[in-house]
Amino acid sequence: MSIVSRLTALLDARTTALTVYAHCDLPCGVYDPAQARIEAQSVKAIMEKYNASGDPDFKVRATIIKEERCELVKHHLWVLWTDYFKVEHLKQFPNLHDLFWMATKSAGDAKKSNDVVVADRLLSEIDAIAEIFWATKK
């Protein structure tokens, strides 16, 4: 039986039930809150440029890009929260869940705002997470 025939038979749901197990991420161990911080810095810079501009077309583009960057901030935070941090870290740093919750909420708030204070709060929360992250890497 050729490889194509075998693959076709395996993938044909009518003839074969196949259970697949997979790890959601490659366990490379490369994690860093800097990814979230870089995106959050972009959010702040976009807000500043938005507020300084009088061009309505520029403001539309800036809003779209800012919202995309906010989603990337949340993504990078969620990867750290769900993939890097373990139960022992939560025991050592009991405020960890609250920090992540507040930071992801701030990223959501930044999507809806052009207030640089919101971006500064987000950056501060990411910095608090980074402090704990680097403490766990020692």
Question: Cα–Cα–Cα angle for 24, 30, 31, nearest 5°?
Answer: 85
Percent of the chain's residues with pLDDT above 70: 81
> Residue with structure tokens 């959501």?
108
Pick the CATH number of 31-136 from 3.40.50.11060, 3.40.50.800, 1.10.150.530, 1.20.120.400: 1.20.120.400
Residue 3 sits at φ, ψ, to 5 deg, of -60, -40
Are residues 109 and 67 in contact, defined by beta-carbon separation less than 8 angstroms?
no
Each residue of 15-73: pLDDT tens digit?
555 554 433 445 567 789 999 999 999 999 999 999 999 999 999 999 999 999 999 99
Structure tokens at 110: 């930044």
Domain range summary for the chain, segments of one domain joined by + = 31-136
Residue 2 — pLDDT band, cuts 50, 70, 90? confident
Structure tokens at 44: 């702040």
- Taking each helix axis from N to C end, the angle separating 56-79 and 34-52, rounded to the nearest 10 degrees, works out to 160
